[in-house]
Amino acid sequence: MFQYGIDSLDLDRVLALAHGQEKGILSQEARAQILNARRTVERMVAQKDPVYGVNTGFGPLCDTRIDQEASDLLQKNLLLTHAVGVGEPIHPKLSRIMLICKAHALAQGYSGISLPILERILYFIEYHLHPVVPEQGSVGASGDLAPLSHLFLPLLGEGYFWQGQQRVPAAQVLAAHDLRPLNLGAKEGLALINGTQFILAHAITGLDHLRYLLDLADVSGAMSLEAFQGSAHPFREDLHRIRPFRGNLIVAKRMRGLLKDSENLASHANCGRIQDPYSVRCIPQVHGASRNAWQHLLELTEIEMNAVTDNPIITQTEEAISGGNFHGQPLAMALDYATVAAAELGNIADRRCYLLLEGKNGLPRLLTQKSGLNSGLMIPQYTSAALVTENKTLCFPASADSIPTSLGQEDHVSMGSISGRKFNQVLGNLNKILAIELLYAAQGLEFRRPLRCSDRIEANFKLIRQRVNKLEEDRLIMDDIDQLIQMVKNRVFVV
């Protein structure tokens, strides 16, 4: 049982909450800290000293005083005017993760939110009421203002929820649950829409996705090496101990395990070849560098999961501190780094596909014994090359750009929402590139029979052959590629 505002989130725990495998509650300790901060806000409302977002306007209107009677309307208007996102809606899973992360931040008692607002958010999580949130519109500073406004419009009876694949007006869904729209008090609208939860949700889903693809890239690389009859010497531990990057050590160890007891590799141990091309020989260095980037993003994301990122914050000494915890730069830069890391996995996989087509080390050209009349597997590498280039174009760091907003008050922004979206786009393309490499590697292994590979390679080869047959003569292979892409997406492979 996870206690919002008290326990710590990590990647696996937030995913367990998102998948409904663990339930979150609001403990008495969390309730006490929330109530204490709320009382502080209510005292500030009655004071004459200006406190940003409590009794002032927002952004460039921070010097405009708002009287106590108008404070509640100010908060409602804030959500209504900031819900200007455009584009396709994000997946409901992302909306759910945003709700979970926001609830955890609010429950820590630094935001001045009232209990009924937070309890309603927890109700949305418990009953899988996921707001519709457009994917575009956040610049990633002052938080993810537009996405978070859409996320919390349903608190007011505005906006939409998902019901299956349909978008249903929030007022209709609330009525079906016998719930009334809520009124926002002083600072509550600002607390809801200031924060980095849109960026954070994309980091979380991307980390989970890339974690699997890192392992799968090792598997597809090992299968390609087996098909090419490459050498396992570049993965020796004593080589990597003298350049001990964490990712390199992990990948080299995995490669040793993936190639263990291979009859195929043992059959050419003394063949006289000196060394393999880099796409095979340097798997630990390249895959390992991508693992290092994943680890860096994980560390920063887990800090952000447990952080308070709205503004101003209400301290336990009953002060309001106006700062910049909503700025998305800490995640934006790391997401851009992780995007490059994911793209490089596809880049080197495409090179291994090309290597298998060249007709070297006993493999037939284009992986067919009847080339000329048959094109064999010539053309899927074109698709792989196109995907790799598309990923390269997505590697421009969004965090390197900034466009001033809010009449210059918000004069440097992170663009981290774009970093997060691009990261996940690249991962989607990587699914397809690795599927194509697995198609090539399985075809290449057919020409090494009857020699067997390691148990894990054989297990994955069997999984492929259950859905995709060996290519004997030219046929429509579109369906084969689609089958393998679905297998990657469904995480079928033994990694």
Residue positions annotated with a catalytic role: 52
Helix residue spans in 131-196 (DSSP H): 145-152, 170-176, 188-193
Q: Letter for the amino acid at 190?
A: L
Query: Which residues are within 8 A (CB) of 403 and not within 5 positions of it... i.e. 6 or more apart?
Result: 139, 413
DSSP 319-385: -EE---TT--HHHHHHHHHHHHHHHHHHHHHHHHHHHHHS--TTPPGGG-TTBTTB-TTTTHHHHHH
The secondary structure of 111-141, three-state, reads CCCCHHHHHHHHHHHHCCCCECCEEECCCCC
DSSP 262-297: -HHHHTTTTS------HHHHTHHHHHHHHHHHHHHH
Could you give the C-alpha distances from 459 to 162, 197, 455, in angstroms and in order?
39, 40, 6
Q: Are 183 and 76 a contacting pair, CB within 8 Å?
A: yes
The torsion angles phi and psi of 414, rounded to 5 degrees, stand at -90, -25
Closest CA to 379 of 357, 409, 352: 357
Buried b (16+ CB within 10 A) or exposed e, 291-305: bbbbeebbebbbebb
Partner residues linked to 24 by β-bridges: 2
